[in-house]
Amino acid sequence: GNSVTQMEGPVTLSEEAFLTINCTYTATGYPSLFWYVQYPGEGLQLLLKATKADDKGSNKGFEATYRKETTSFHLEKGSVQVSDSAVYFCALLNPLNTGTASKLTFGTGTRLQVTL
């Protein structure tokens, strides 16, 4: 079956520090991969995505590269800000499952806290 594993949080960083949140997946075939972000009191928002191996998704200074050889999609940002404090969810969509509906498989989420 499909599964997503994220690093345990919370992750606490000082402003301008480098961020990495690890994500690995298990799936048959060639899934699409996503990062969603949830700010306090809000729903999840799509942050970035990659649909095939070696693709790099990027948005708002965040990047993640689809690595098929290591089945990973780690989220990185070179310099975090206090406003990046949120919960980050890694997710996959397996095209083998799109016969009935496009159902995402989510990781458990990683809370990021950025301090001044």
Partner 1 sequence: DAGVIQSPRHEVTEMGQEVTLRCKPISGHNSLFWYRQTMMRGLELLIYFNNNVPIDDSGMPEDRFSAKMPNASFSTLKIQPSEPRDSAVYFCASSLIGGYTFGSGTRLTVV
Q: Which stretch binds partner 1 (CB under 8 A): 20-28, 40-48, 54-62, 66-74?
A: 40-48
Residue in 57, 115, 111, 60 with CA at minimum distance from that of residue 88: 111
Instruction: Number of residues interacting with partner 1: please give it, by CB under 8 A.
Output: 20
Helix, coil or strand: residue 97: helix
Is the CB of 19 or the CB of 93 nearer to partner 1? 93
Are 71 and 54 in contact by the 8 Å Cβ rule? The answer is no
Instruction: Report angle CA 25, 60, 68 to the nearest 5 degrees.
Output: 25
Among 27, 44, 80, 114, binds partner 1 (CB under 8 A): 44
Give me the residues that bind partner 1 (CB under 8 A), please. 32, 34, 36, 42-46, 49, 89, 93, 98, 100-104, 106, 108-109
